[in-house]
Chain A
Amino acid sequence: MHPAFSVVFFTTATGAGYGLLALLGVLAGQGFVPPDFWFGLVGMGLALGLILAGLLSSAGHLGRPERAWRAFSQWRSSWLSREGVASVATFVPAGLFAVGWVFLGRTDGWMAIAGLLAAIGAVVTVCTTGMIYASLKPIAQWHSRFTLPGYLIFSAMTGSVLLNALLQGFAIGSNTLLAVSVLLTLLGWGWKLATWRYNDRLEIPTTANTATGLAHGTVRSLEWPHTEENYLLKEMGFRIARKHKARLRQITQVLAFALPTLLLIAAFALPWPYAAVLSALAAIVQFAGMLVERWLFFAEAKHTVTLYYGR
C-alpha cells in the first residue's frame, strides 16, 4: 500500500495526541497531576494540537476536502465514519476539561467527569482508527488480530512518553509514570516484533489462482492491460519498502523503542534538568520512530489486487 505522508502523519499524531489526552483526562481528573495553569495549557494544548494537526492532515488526503462533513453520516456501517464521529464527539468533553483546567484552575468535580469522558472518547477513537485497517480483508497484514491492539498500545506508549516529558519538563516528574512509559515502550517493541513475525509467516489463501478462477497449476502474468503504472499500481502496488524492509525495521526498532528506553532509563538516574532533557529527547525520537513504523505499516501491506499484476 502506498504510504501517503498525510495518512502516516495523521495516524501517528492522533495516536500520540489521544494517548496523551486519555492519560491527562484520567490522571489530572483524579488529582494525580496538579491543576497548574501552565502545565494544563501546554499539556492539553499539545494533546489537542496533535489531534487537530492529524485530523487536518487526513483531510488533506481527500480528493474533495470541502465535502468532508458528509463523512459523519454513515456511522452505521463505516469505521471511517465512526472515527469521524468519535473524534469530533471527543472534542466536547476534552474542550470542557481544558477550559476547566486552564481558565478555572480546577480539575475536580464535573471537570473530572469531563476528563474521564474525554479519555473514553480518546480510546474509542483510536479503536475506530485501528478497525479501519483491521476490517480490510484484501490486505492480510492489516486484517489480523495484531492491528487493533497495536493501535491502542502505540497510542498509550507515545502518549505516556509525551506525558512523562511534560511532567519532567515542569519538574513534577514521577518515577511511576517514568516506569510506566518504559514498560509501555517495551510492550510496544514486543508487540511490533510479534506482528512482524506473524506477517512474515503469513500464508495467504488468496493466490493468483483464486484471483483468476484458474484452478490448479501456476498462473503467470504474461501481459498487463496497460503499459504505464495506473492508479491501482500507484496506490496498492507499492514496492520500495519491501526492498529495504530489513533496514527500515532496524531503524524503527532503534528510534521508536530502543533509544527511548535507554533515554528514559537514564532519566531515572539523573537529576532535573538532565532528566527533563532526556525525557523530551525520548519523546521526539520515539515520534520520529513511530513515523517510520507507520510508513512501514503501509508499505509492507500487500493488497490482493497486486496478484493480478504478478507482483
Chain B
Amino acid sequence: MTCLPAHTDKKLGLVIDLDTCVGCQACVTACKEWNTGGHMAPLTDIDPYGGNADGVWFNRVHSYEHTTEMGGRTVNFPRSCLHCEQPACVTVCPTGASYKRASDGIVLVDEDKCIGCKLCSWACPYGAREFDTDIGVMKKCTLCVDRIYNDNLAEEDRVPACVAACPTSARHFGDLGDPESAVSRLVVERSGVDLMPELGYRPTNKYLPPRAHTQRAASVPAPALEPVRAEGGFLGWVDRMLSN
C-alpha cells in the first residue's frame, strides 16, 4: 500500500557528520559489496571495465567547495536515501511496490511488484533511487534491513554496511524517533539539519554541518624544548660527570 503509515514505531536512520567525513569512499564500496548480495541484489554494473561504466549504487559521495566570509573548505558529502517521513516516492508509486514500513520507517521497494515506470525517481528530490536497466526495476537503499535485524551477525555488526565501514565514525545509525537515543542527542548537540527542508519531505536522516571556522592558531602551544647546551657552574659539572 503506497499510502503512508500515520505513525511509525521507530524512525531508523543515519546521522552523517560532514565535519569528519574524509571522502574516502569506504562507505560507498562497503554498501555496494553488501547490497549486491542483499535484499535488492544484484546492484547491476553495466560495462564496468569499459569507457562507459554505469551501474546501481545506493550511496554516492560528492565533494564540494564551501566558501563563506570565513574562508573556503572542502566538504565531502555522502548522499543516500534519507528514509523521509513524507516520502513522495512512495505515494506516487502506482503498483504498491514502494512502501514505508510502519515498524521502523524504512522505505523499501518490492522488486517483484515494480513495473519500472521511474516516477518514484522523479518524485525524490535527493536522487536516492537508481534504475536497474538490466532487470527493469527501481532500486534504493534498504538501510541494510538484512543486516540490522540479522541474528547471524554479531551484535556490533548489526548496523548498515556504510556505518560499519566508516573509518572516521562520520556515520551514525539509530532511532531518530527516540529523543534519548545517541543519534538524537548528537543531532541536538551539533545542530543537525534536514536537506531541502523547504520541500517538506521531512527526511529522517540528518546531516551535521562542519564545525565553525576559527581564526586562532592552535590554543595549546607545544611545550618548550629543554635547553641542550651544557650549563656552566656546579650543576654543569654534575651534568658532565654523570653524562660520561
Contacts and interface: CB of A to CB of B under 8 A. Distances in A.
A100 to B, nearest CB: 32
Identify the interface centre among B4, B53, B115: most chain A CB within 10 Å of its CB: B115
Contacts of A132: 92, 119
Contacts of B197: 210
Interface in B177-220: 193-201, 207, 209-210
B136 to A, nearest CB: 3
B91 to A, nearest CB: 4
Interface in B52-86: 52-57, 60-69, 74-75, 77, 79
Contacts of A304: 125-126, 196, 199
Given A78-B91, A231-B130, A62 B116 contact: yes
A146 B31 CA distance: 41
B176 to A, nearest CB: 15
Interface residues of B, number: 71
Interface string A93-111: 0000000000000000000
Interface in B35-53: 51-53
Interface in B83-123: 88, 90-97, 113-119, 121-123
A231 B54 CA distance: 8
Contact of B62 (A210, A218, A221): A221
Nearest to A82: B94
Given A70-B115, A137-B200, A308-B127, A217 B122 contact: no
B122 A71 contact: no
Interface string B4-26: 10000000000000100000010
Contact of A63 (B88, B131, B193, B207): B131
B119 A235 contact: no
B224 to A, nearest CB: 39
Lowest 8 A-B CB distances belong to which pairs?
Answer: A63-B116, A63-B136, A217-B68, A305-B127, A225-B60, A81-B94, A138-B125, A70-B95
